[in-house]
């Protein structure tokens, strides 16, 4: 259903997002996607304001691009299904901006030479919302539009209380939930997701040390091995219920319309989880033999 896109290549992702955007809005602003991708590239390469280039190893620019690609596809699928309420062009645009900026909270100021941006894990959602306000104010966006982007970003917090986010419309809420859905699916469906779990642990570990162990959100795992062992449970007991209930099952709009029930993103994640389970089983056998 979806052609393979190299998410390490911002231009390749930009092309696909542009296709999705113009499918939904054929008369849309053809400069919008290139423009906001340019902004994001500047932000993550140290060419915006008083910020360094991203140095978090898991929550890098590719991570953002994975989610952005997924969101554009999901919103296109929802549009093609004629779901209500409809997402207009402005909200579609604000959603793309929000997901491009949703992890800018990992960026450090240029005067900060301690550790990596991973130390901000616990507060990165709030920092991302503030970063978005700073950037979009500079780009002359309205107060309401900036608030919409911030509300969407707030949906991505692992412990976000969705009912308390002050959405300005039901359609804005839908885009926020679609963004969070795409943030989860984009990273977990990546071909190298299992390989990057130790890198994710290193970010949690740095954040835990930075917080001096005060935050259970990042201090849950004692080692990369434990994180790997807990990941299948994370998928089954946290992500899947959240996608279905909290985020209203919006992942279904990524299904192949010619093959109902066939969802390339879920299929890739299940493949990753199956691979991880096999590796864990093999490791347990190896340990028992020794």
Give me the DSSP letters along 260-278.
TT--HHHHHHHHHHHHHHH
Are 16 and 69 in contact by the 8 Å Cβ rule? The answer is yes
145-157 confidence digits (pLDDT tens)? 999 999 999 999 9
Topology given in CATH for the domain delimited by 10-289: Catalytic domain of cyclic nucleotide phosphodiesterase 4b2b (1.10.1300)
**For tokens 């199956």, what's the residue?**
274
CA distances in angstroms from 198 to 183, 185, 217, 237, listed in the order given = 19, 19, 17, 21
Assess whether pLDDT exceeds 80 at residue 192. Answer: yes
**167-194 average pLDDT score:** 98
Domain ranges of the chain: 10-289
Query: Does the pTM exceed 0.85?
Result: yes
């Amino acid at each position: 259903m979806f052609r393979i896109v190299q998410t390490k290549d911002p231009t390749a992702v930009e092309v696909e997002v542009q296709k999705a955007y113009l499918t939904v809005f054929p008369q849309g602003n053809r400069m919008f996607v290139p423009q906001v991708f340019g902004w994001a590239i500047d932000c993550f390469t140290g060419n915006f304001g008083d910020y360094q280039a991203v140095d978090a190893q898991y929550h890098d620019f590719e991570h953002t691009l994975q989610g952005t690609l997924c969101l554009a596809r999901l919103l296109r699928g929802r549009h093609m299904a004629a779901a209500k309420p409809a997402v207009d062009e402005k909200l579609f645009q604000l959603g793309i901006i929000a997901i491009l900026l949703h992890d800018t909270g990992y960026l450090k100021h240029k005067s900060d030479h301690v550790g990596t941006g991973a130390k901000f894990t616990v507060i990165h959602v709030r920092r991302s919302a503030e970063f978005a306000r700073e950037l979009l104010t500079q780009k002359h966006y309205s107060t309401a539009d900036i608030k919409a982007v911030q509300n969407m970003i707030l949906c991505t917090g692992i412990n976000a209380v969705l009912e308390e986010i002050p959405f300005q419309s039901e359609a804005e809420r839908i885009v926020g939930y679609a963004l969070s859905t795409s943030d989860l699916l984009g990273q977990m469906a990546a071909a190298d997701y299992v390989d990057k779990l130790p890198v994710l642990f290193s970010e949690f570990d740095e954040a835990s040390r930075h917080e001096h162990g005060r935050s259970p959100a990042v201090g849950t795992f004692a080692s990369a091995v434990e994180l790997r062992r807990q990941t299948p449970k994370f998928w089954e007991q946290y992500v899947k219920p959240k996608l279905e209930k909290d985020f209203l099952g919006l992942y279904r709009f990524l299904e192949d319309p010619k093959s109902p029930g066939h969802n390339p993103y879920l299929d890739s994640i299940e493949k990753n989880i199956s691979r991880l389970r096999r590796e864990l089983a093999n490791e347990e056998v190896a340990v028992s033999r020794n």
